[in-house]
Structure 1
């Protein structure tokens, strides 16, 4: 399970950030993929080539698979688990690019420049049911996309077909569907950053126990629904001061609110689900800030002009 958000500073530096929460050890690394690199899909016979160079968090499993990343145009995408809701094609489709769900990130990063272009072109793909060799299961995913212009969207593929949504709050978690989370947000109109005033009941006037009453009722558990509400509230009222450093700092503090320590969330299969890494992508200055579970420092990898001129893969 994961949480993602887009974020903008007062001077219009735009970020896409996420926690990677999973029980299987993904061992993600930051990887640079050059222009004109050819991917082989998990769907036999499908290949696609990158137009843009990009940096993503992923792994080489008889071919590179990515969970998230950004490209040289400032377009970014992150995949999040969408269990019990994702529904893909059972057959290849003639005239479409037939791919697995885990191919979506590398295709988009290699070929898409903006959220608007992604919205126009995602229908070129036919996402097919395919067993992932690493996880040994079909991976149910949905995707959040963002760009350097400040646009954010969500793509979900269910039994009702593929649907793209403009993400007005810039937050995404896991199941249920995105629109369910947006409707659920209406149940939390009481949340505010300022304290509530005292109230009178008969002749008795209440006295506050201390500051923070405006956030009474903010859910603190690790369910997808609660993480969506908590992240949306914190993103809305966090400091959006100008500057990259301030932006990264603000985003990291929001991510910390949904960070899952080892041992506090155990699945029905008796395995530990935890935050394996946090990723913060600066879409204007083209930097990826990565924090592994075992570290408290952000490691920065920048997509430089020199790196983009490189024709070979680099692993950081």
Structure 2
């Protein structure tokens, strides 16, 4: 399970996600330069395209991106969508037939804003190809964004759906419309000092600060994480600086982390937040932490040679870095 957000703070916008799984996948920070040849199953190869940065699996000779941001400030992330996601098993003539593992690089290769993404999605048929015998197609849905806002992309049994995402949050199942309806159950939550509405004529003592958020769901399930992330992000206050926005982004993502031992899956493993990653949509700077290393790591993506033809790969660290003060 995962959570992804677009966090906007004045002129600063950060897009990123938590990747929650029962095991480590061996993902690396991956930069796909402009001249790396992107190959597609049912479309022509793309030898020149926008540069992309994100977390990806690269051991199979192709960047399998979990999320990414391109040099124009467009972002996309894929999240698990069990029991609901369903791709087309047939190719469609007149459509751009794109597999689930190709959607992120395909959209980020050319789209310069969210309107471009919407136009591309109108022509796409999401097909159910496996990547190979080991990497099978899994049900996913996507959040796509630019600095102005975000959308949710879901392919279900009733077709491809694109939803405007006003709260700029995505978790997992059920479908986005059901998540939005459930969100309405929490409209009375507030970050402000609460008002006595149940018996206004009585002087009811408040025993604690933060009582306006009483009832905020604290579970690790996807609906709880959706509401919690939306509440934290849309009530967030941070100085309008890059450093403060970055710090607040990671603070928000910590409120929906999966802690080892707290979520025992039926396969016998415990689900944890493998990594948290985020990018500044203006600068393309990319930041990440891992479960075992809480230190924020980063690269200035645009300082790299983005015109080369080979992937640039940075292995993530899993040893805790500690700043010892002497």
Which category of TM-score, normalised to the shorter sequence, fits these structures?
A: over 0.9
Q: Report deviation, 1:51.
A: 1.4
Work out whether residues 172 and 222 of structure 2, in 8 Å CA contact, stay in contact via their aligned partners in 1. Answer: yes
Offset of residue 84 of structure 1: 0.9
Please show how residues 1-316 of structure 1 align to structure 2 within 5 Å.
1-10=1-10, 12-41=11-40, 43=41, 47-60=45-58, 61-133=60-132, 136-148=135-147, 150-198=148-196, 205-304=203-302, 306-316=304-314
TM-score by length of 2: 0.90
Change (3 A) 1:50 1:228: farther
Q: What is the Cα deviation at residue 49 of structure 1?
A: 4.3
- Cα deviation for residue 185 of structure 1 reads 1.2
Flag the structure with higher strand content: 1
Over 3 Å off, 4+ runs: 43-50, 132-137, 197-205
Q: What secondary structure sits across from 2:294 in the alignment?
A: coil
Give the alignment's TM-score, normalised by structure 1.
0.92
Cα RMSD of the aligned pairs, angstroms, is 2.1
Q: Deviations over 1:207-242 (max 9, x none)?
A: 222111100000000111000100110011111421
Deviation at 1:201, TM superposition (A): 5.7
C-alpha displacement of 1:47 = 3.7
Q: Distance in 1 between matches of 2:44 and 2:270?
A: 35
Q: CA deviation at 1:98?
A: 2.4
Structure 2: gaps spanning 5 or more residues? 315-326
Local SS of the residue matching 2:173: coil
Aligned residue pairs total 313
Q: Which runs of 5+ in 1 are unaligned?
A: none
1:134 deviates by 7.6
Change (3 A) 1:283 1:205: same
User: Structure 2: how far apart are the matches of 1:36 and 1:51?
Assistant: 7
Greater shift, 185-194 or 299-308, is seen at 299-308
8 Å contact 2:36–2:308 — kept in the other structure? no
